[in-house]
Amino acid sequence: MHYFRKRGWELPESAATPEPVFRARRQLIKALAAGPILAATPALLSSCDGKEASNSTAPGGASGAAGDPSAKLYPVARNLRYRVDRPETLEKFATEYNNFYEYGGTKSISRAARQLRIRPWTVKIDGMVEKPFDIAIDDLLAKMPLEERVYRFRCVEAWAMTVPWSGFPMKALVDLAKPQSGAKYVRMETFGDSSLAPGLKQVWYPWPYVEGLTMAEATNELAFIATGLYGKPIPKQNGAPLRLVAPWKYGFKCVKSIVRVSFTDERPKTFWEKMGPSEYGFWANVNPEVAHPRWSQASENILGENRRAPSQLFNGYGEYVADLYKGLEGEKLYM
C-alpha cells in the first residue's frame, strides 16, 4: 500500500479542504442516518474521507500516460517566450499531489485516476458558434499547434509549482470553434460519466465540474490547453486528455478532462461557486493582498521544496493580463 506521508510544506488537510465540502458531507451523513441509501455508500464516504481513494486498484500502467496513442507527438518544442525564475518542480510532486475531486477529496488520487478511460474521447463544441460540432481528441491534436510552455501554477490552497505543459493556445481552439460575435464567455465542462470516476456518485457535489473564462481571457496569449506534461501525454491525474491552464488564476479555474466547450452570453456558474460562493468566485485571479476567508494568500508553499515564497499579483503574469480587468474594479476579481 502506498501511503503518502505528510511533509512540512503541505497544508494540513483540514485547513485546505474547502469548508463547503465539510458542510455538504455533513448533510449527506444526516441523509444517510435517515435511511435507505445507506447500503450504497460506505465506499463513497471513504473515498472522500481518507487516503482510501489512492488504494483503489484500476487498470493502467505506473504512469497515467502509459499506452496513450498520442505519446508519439511528444516532446514538442518549448516556447521560450514564457520564462519562470524558479526551478521546475520535480515530476514526481506534480503528478502525485493533485486535486481532482472526481477521484476523491485528498491529494493522493493519482492511482485512483487510472480508471479514467481517455480513448475514445470526444470534445463537444456548442452554444453560440457558427455550427456546433464534435471532435475526437486525436483529430484535435492533429489540427492544433503544439508547443511546450513552462508556467507557474498556484492553487488557492497556497501551494505552488512550476511545470512544463505541452499543448496549444486556447485561442487556437476558439478560432476552430468560430464563435458568434455575441458570445461573451467560454464554459468548459469535465466528464460526468460515473463509470469513469467514483466521486461522481457523491451526490452532494454539483457535478459535472464546470469552469469558465471571458472571451478576452480565453483568447489572451497565456490561456493554454494542456495535453502533455514533462514532454509526455498528460497523466490522467493531471486532467488527461485535455485541461485548461490559466496561470494567472487560482488552480481551480483549470478544469480537467474537458468534454464540452460551450460559447455563451451568460457568465457560467462554476463548480466551486456553487459549492461555496463566499470562498470561490468566477474571476479567481491570484492576489497576495486579498486573503481567502480562512487563510492568507500572501505567501505560497513551493511543492517539493519545503519553503515558502511570496505570492505575486496575477501569479507574476500581470504584464500579460492586468489590462483584461480595466473597468471591472467593481467585481470580486481576486477570489
Ligand X SMILES: Nc1nc2c(c(=O)[nH]1)N[C@H]1C(S)=C(S)[C@@H](COP(=O)(O)O)O[C@H]1N2
Site residues (CB under 6 A) for ligand X?
Answer: 98-102, 155, 190, 209, 238-239, 251-252, 254-257
Q: Applying CB under 5 A, does 209 fall inside the site for Mo ion?
A: no
Tell me: cis bond preceding 208? Omega within 30 of 0 counts: yes
CB of 60 to ligand X, least distance (A): 17
Give Cα 196 distance to the centre of its chain.
17
Answer for the pair 100, 243: CB distance below 8 angstroms, yes or no: no
Q: How far is the CB of 244 from ligand X (least distance, A)?
A: 8
Nearer to Mo ion, 149 or 256 (CB): 256
The item of Mo ion, ligand X, none sharing an interface with residue 311, based on CB under 5 to 8 Å by kind, is none
Nearer to ligand X, 21 or 144 (CB): 21
Q: Please state the closest distance from residue 18 (CB atom) to ligand X, in A.
A: 9
Using CB under 5 A, which of 56, 99, 106, 202 touches Mo ion? 99
Alpha-carbon distances, residue 50 vs 55, 111, 206, 272 (angstroms): 10, 14, 21, 21
Q: Closest-CB residue for ligand X?
A: 251
Q: Which does 101 bind (CB under 5 to 8 A by kind): ligand X, Mo ion, none?
A: ligand X
CB 199: neighbour CB atoms within 10 A? 22
The answer to whether 303 contacts Mo ion (rule: CB under 5 A) is no
Whether residue 238 contacts residue 94, with contact meaning beta carbons closer than 8 Å, is answered with yes
155 in contact with Mo ion (CB under 5 A): yes
Rounded to a whole number of angstroms, the minimum distance from the CB of residue 277 to ligand X is: 16
Binding site partner of 190, from Mo ion, ligand X, none, Cβ cut-off 5-8 A by kind: ligand X
- Residue of the chain from 251, 268, 281, 316 that contacts Mo ion (CB under 5 A): 251
Minimum CB distance to ligand X smaller for 142 or for 309: 309
Interaction of residue 244 with Mo ion, rule CB under 5 A: no
Residues in touch with Mo ion (CB under 5 A): 99, 155, 251-252
